[in-house]
Amino acid sequence: MRLNELKVTEYLEKIKAREISVEQVIKDIFHQINRVDSKLKAFLAINRETALNEAIKMDEKIKNGYHIPSLAGLPVAVKDIICTRNIETTCGSRILKGFIPPYDATVIKRIKDAGAIIIGKTNMDEFGMGSSNENSAFQVTLNPWDTNHVPGGSSGGSAVAVAADETLVALGTDTGGSIRTPASFCGIVGMKPTYGRVSRYGLIAYASSLDQIGTLTKGVEDAAIIMNVICGHDSMDATSADIPVPNFLAACREGIQNLRFAVPQEFFKQGLNSEVKDSVMKAVKIISELGGTVDEISLPNIEYALPAYYLIAMAEASSNLAKFDGVQYGLRMNDHGDLEEMYQKTRSMGFGPEVIRRIMLGTYALSSGYYDAYYLKAQKVRTLVKKDFDQAFRKYDILLCPTSPVPAFRIGERIDNPLTMYLADVYTMPINLAGLPALSINCGYTKEYHLPIGLQMIGKPFREEDIFRVAYNYETQLGQIVSQKPTL
């Protein structure tokens, strides 16, 4: 096994035992990137020289007996929507090409303080708007299981980097499924925390009331380790919750006998791929055999979540993206007559078609005469969706369902049909509307293309530890059955 194939838990054990060097791990990571990324296109920027220098310094500290930090030298890839000091951050958009942040996002500062090393920035759908990673302004990322298929979006670059062993762990963001869908499509673990659990300071906003930073990892314990580093209150973020952070790694060791599970029947109706349904139901059976009581429930308002989500997300996007105008940073078109013409040309040339579509729809929904009919009504539906979940969680601890109704679809299959594309996240969007934590874990593969299938576990607000308990017990029970790797 090359060192780039290690899980975080394995890496940290070997580092603390002084069995391996950080420098050699980083070199193996870059060797893998050199070998496969010209084909997969997971990365937009590589932090090669700085990462190697930091690895050498960390090895010196370890050699000289200094305190070994919790993530000593751990290589981390970062979605290109999270600000990284002195590393270009583009959000996958031409309008931010050349933007180099002068500061680190809070999550970046925390993992750096814990000793982690940033190895590069990963490709994404422009400003997080997409379910397939085909909306990047720079390149299309390919699924390592079958390069004719999408990796999911918008954190597709981060998911591919983890699945293809180009990093040991990656950070992503999830507005409506952007961590969980790529995790499902690429056969890894994707964790979306409760809204407010992780600071959004330094995250370039798409939809402020929905966005949340999370992790993409090779295993459940890896996600728990990183979550314990990045979670916690941050005074720089007004939406950050001042709630104690439990030991997520310790929670993994607990059983699930006292937990109550439910399967929402609305997630198993028309439109669900038969192989996805079979794999998820097999997973539900395994969880019940591990000691969990599983019932069937109804979430009656869930059918309205998709249109409500897109109205809210597009409205917030139209407001958040208004600041990208060519004045302060990023792209500026200079062949203009006056300031207004410069705005028009810069935004027309800087934004891609999907971003423009969402800005226009969002602006329309917020405009005079339409605010009450669209945006306000969508917020009322959001309340109803949240009440459905609140009602369910009065009796149950975890809801089980598919992450996506389909396995990874072919590149180009949905790009010209936005409505079909939006349906890829139909099972993940309601969780963002309600601000809940959720995790996607591999639960099987399709027969024809051997593409991964994801099981989604949804928990109560700020009860991520319950999700980790279930996911780890399930992962341990299945072992190598669902921890296969793509052939590259």
Give pLDDT, residue 205.
97
Predicted local distance difference test score (pLDDT) of residue 369: 87
Distance linking the first and last C-alpha atoms of the chain? 14
State the catalytic residue, choosing from 132, 178, 184, 318.
178
Catalytic residue among 21, 93, 136, 154: 154
From CA 114, how far away is CA 80, in angstroms rounded?
21
Query: Among 79, 109, 121, 345, which one carries the catalytic annotation?
Result: 79
What does the pLDDT read at residue 425?
93
Q: Domains of the chain (ranges plus CATH)?
A: 3-265+394-481 (3.90.1300.10)
Regions of the chain with pLDDT less than 50: none
Q: What is residue 478's predicted lDDT score, i.e. its pLDDT?
A: 81
- The per-residue pLDDT for 334 is 82
Residue 320: the pLDDT is: 96
Token readout for 327 is 């004045």
Report the alpha-carbon angle 183-187-188, nearest 5.
60
**Cα 250 versus chain centre, distance:** 23
pLDDT value for 26: 98
Cα angle 373, 358, 431 (rounded to 5 degrees) comes to 75
Per-residue model confidence (pLDDT) at position 121: 98
154 given a catalytic annotation: yes
Q: What local confidence, expressed as pLDDT, does residue 456 receive? A: 98
pTM of the model: 0.97
| 3 state DSSP class of 88 | coil
Q: Which pLDDT belongs to residue 488?
A: 85
Q: Are 76 and 118 in contact (CB under 8 A)?
A: yes
Residues forming a β-bridge with 174: 212
Give all strands of the β-sheet with 43-46 in edge-to-edge order.
Answer: 43-46, 117-122, 75-79, 169-174, 212-217, 189-192, 438-445, 452-459, 398-402, 260-264, 293-297
- Please give the pLDDT value at position 7: 97
Instruction: For residue 175, give the 3-state DSSP assignment.
Output: coil
